[in-house]
Chain A
Amino acid sequence: MIEVKNVTKSFGDLTVLHNISAVFEAGKTNLIIGQSGSGKTVLMKSVIGIHRVEEGQILYDGRDIAAMSKKEVFRLRREVGMLFQGSALFDSMTVEENVRFPLEMFSDKSREEWNERVEFCLKRVELSHAAKLYPSEISGGMQKRAAIARAIVLQPKYLFCDEPNSGLDPKTSLTIDKLIHEITEEFGITTIVNTHDMNSVMEIGDKVIFIHKGHKGWEGDKDSIFESGNQDLEDLVFASNLYKKVKKYHNLK
């Protein structure tokens, strides 16, 4: 579980996050949503520890990241998996080498155990057939799945996903969403997904936190969005004609 308590973050005179508090529970897919420029990426980066916050606390299972030494932060990072918007796979390595990399860096287990773990992770994301290919030789969806395999290879307690569906078609996006959701439940990971893809919200939003102009605008689950009563949230979620129709249908029901 990750707790964010009264976090405020500024860049110079510009305050990007205002007194935000939230609890991201383990075994659940926690979504941070908001318009572009709302502060959701800053919130995620602050939670990961890339940005230092001026006020407030970020607690990883009770451990305050601000109070940690550099060594402790490095150790904590080994409990963290991250899926980047652009996958961020290492170009010079094959898919298999990418997935094995965190093990080579941090695991003291034997080579056989590494191979087993890599095989398991690739199988879990259905990418065993592409193990020997380079990132440039596989599709965007496959790159995302490879990045997920790399993110979970060290059995992380916390998984961060930054715009996991960016650049993917709706069907592939759904596959990635489901995979993230399944892995979260299967391994009891605390997953935080930063997205503005409303399909993701409706599919995997166990918990949704809406950030609006640096403030927490709303908090709930995917089913309660329809009754949120928050105009800013509704403007974001039901912006497209499709979702306007969905809402209309829901209200009629």
Chain B
Amino acid sequence: MNLFEHVGRYSRLMAGVFTKPQRWGILFKQYLAEIEKQGIQSLGITIIISIFIGSAITMQMVLNTENPMLPKYVTGLTTRETLLLEFSSTILCLILAGKVGSNIASEIGTMRITEQIEALKIMGVNAENYLILPKILGFVTIIPVLVIFSMFFGLVGGYFIATTGVISPAQYVMGIQYAFNPYYVTYSIVKSLFFAFIISSVSSYYGYYAYGGALDVGKASTNAVVNSSIIILLFNVILTDLLLV
């Protein structure tokens, strides 16, 4: 299949997804379940990664700002800007594309190859809407929470490094407060909303059209992660141009 065929099929799938749900109550129940599955269960990895990356960024910034002309608080400042502008939205979403994206693609793909999707269709259920809409809504809802957690714990990770004596914690705290632009948080969250939509919808697409056996579900899962990541990187450039430049 070429790119245009994929885009056409993806658009058709999305047209089926964004229709009126047959039962609002069931959608709401699944929506909450997806928030728990994709969001709450990703909190742990988000916190761990953010702490370690925040720590690493701070150490690198200390090394890169050793010039006596630069004030010590620059380390905190640059750590904050890196986390807010790029890590907590783009890099975090690339990591989540691996966790959440492969989970969605393999779940829907397995349902496809075990005829569960056919069973839904024959019952008269709009399978696209029933399966995919709660996943998209759930992930888009929870992603800002994950981004905020990532920002906070990334800065906490940097603080740990400051406490080891490379710079003083007070200088680090001053740096993360210095010339703070709240719009960067908004920018980061807006980007993450787009990325969450890309991860959940592209992964659902690859899962939904998986055919064959277990190997094909694996392939669908890999394709979901790889293509979501590429699209995220592309949109990162577009959104930065639109929102920041």
Judge whether B118 is part of the interface by a CB distance below 8 angstroms.
yes
Interface set, chain B 20-56, CB cutoff 8 A to A: 22-23, 26
Judge whether A106 is part of the interface by a CB distance below 8 angstroms.
yes
Judge whether B123 is part of the interface by a CB distance below 8 angstroms.
yes
Chain B contact-residue range equals: 10 to 19
* B contact residues around A77 at 8 Å (CB): 121-124
In the complex formed, the residue of B with least CB distance to A77 is B124
Judge whether B116 is part of the interface by a CB distance below 8 angstroms.
yes
Chain A residues in contact with chain B, CB under 8 A?
48, 50, 74-78, 80, 82, 84-86, 88-91, 101-102, 104-106, 160
Interface set, chain B 111-146, CB cutoff 8 A to A: 111, 114-116, 118-119, 121-125
A84-B119 in contact (CB<8A): yes
B123-A102 in contact (CB<8A): yes
Could you tell me the distance in whole angstroms from the C-beta of A172 to the nearest C-beta in chain B?
A: 20
Compute how far the CA of A85 lies from the CA of B22 in the bound complex, rounded to whole angstroms: 27
A84-B115 in contact (CB<8A): yes
Could you tell me the distance in whole angstroms from the C-beta of B2 to the nearest C-beta in chain A?
A: 19
In the complex formed, the residue of B with least CB distance to A74 is B124
In the complex formed, the residue of A with least CB distance to B33 is A92
Could you tell me the distance in whole angstroms from the C-beta of B117 to the nearest C-beta in chain A?
A: 9
A86-B122 in contact (CB<8A): no
* Supplied contacts A89-B116, A104-B23, A106-B123, 5 more A-B pairs, CB within 8 Å: A82-B119, A82-B122, A90-B111, A90-B116, A105-B125
Contacts A77-B122, A77-B123, A105-B125 given; does A88 touch B23 at CB 8 Å: no
* A contact residues around B23 at 8 Å (CB): 104-105
Contacts A104-B26, A105-B22, A105-B26 given; does A86 touch B124 at CB 8 Å: no
Chain B residues in contact with chain A, CB under 8 A?
22-23, 26, 110-111, 114-116, 118-119, 121-125
Compute how far the CA of A88 lies from the CA of B123 in the bound complex, rounded to whole angstroms: 12
Could you tell me the distance in whole angstroms from the C-beta of B133 to the nearest C-beta in chain A?
A: 14
* A contact residues around B121 at 8 Å (CB): 50, 77
* A contact residues around B116 at 8 Å (CB): 88-91
In the complex formed, the residue of B with least CB distance to A147 is B119
List the 9 closest A-B pairs by CB distance, nearest first: A77-B124, A88-B119, A88-B115, A82-B122, A74-B124, A84-B115, A78-B124, A88-B116, A102-B123
Residue pairs across A and B with Cβ atoms less than 8 A apart, 27 shown, are: A48-B122, A74-B124, A75-B124, A76-B124, A77-B122, A77-B123, A77-B124, A78-B123, A80-B122, A80-B123, A80-B124, A82-B119, A82-B123, A85-B115, A86-B114, A88-B114, A88-B115, A88-B116, A88-B118, A90-B111, A91-B111, A104-B23, A105-B26, A105-B123, A105-B125, A106-B124, A160-B122
Compute how far the CA of A84 lies from the CA of B122 in the bound complex, rounded to whole angstroms: 11
* B contact residues around A101 at 8 Å (CB): 123
* A contact residues around B125 at 8 Å (CB): 105
Compute how far the CA of A85 lies from the CA of B122 in the bound complex, rounded to whole angstroms: 14
Compute how far the CA of A91 lies from the CA of B116 in the bound complex, rounded to whole angstroms: 9
User: Which of B22, B110, B116, B123 has the most A CB atoms < 10 Å from its CB?
Assistant: B123
In the complex formed, the residue of B with least CB distance to A156 is B123
Compute how far the CA of A88 lies from the CA of B121 in the bound complex, rounded to whole angstroms: 12
* A contact residues around B26 at 8 Å (CB): 104-105
In the complex formed, the residue of A with least CB distance to B116 is A88
Compute how far the CA of A240 lies from the CA of B24 in the bound complex, rounded to whole angstroms: 54
Compute how far the CA of A75 lies from the CA of B123 in the bound complex, rounded to whole angstroms: 9
* A contact residues around B119 at 8 Å (CB): 82, 84, 88, 90
Could you tell me the distance in whole angstroms from the C-beta of A29 to the nearest C-beta in chain B?
A: 19
In the complex formed, the residue of B with least CB distance to A84 is B115
Could you tell me the distance in whole angstroms from the C-beta of A224 to the nearest C-beta in chain B?
A: 32
Compute how far the CA of A77 lies from the CA of B22 in the bound complex, rounded to whole angstroms: 14
* B contact residues around A75 at 8 Å (CB): 124
Compute how far the CA of A48 lies from the CA of B119 in the bound complex, rounded to whole angstroms: 12
* B contact residues around A82 at 8 Å (CB): 119, 122-123
Could you tell me the distance in whole angstroms from the C-beta of A43 to the nearest C-beta in chain B?
A: 16
* B contact residues around A105 at 8 Å (CB): 22-23, 26, 123-125
Compute how far the CA of A111 lies from the CA of B52 in the bound complex, rounded to whole angstroms: 50
Could you tell me the distance in whole angstroms from the C-beta of B103 to the nearest C-beta in chain A?
A: 13
* A contact residues around B22 at 8 Å (CB): 105-106
Compute how far the CA of A50 lies from the CA of B116 in the bound complex, rounded to whole angstroms: 15
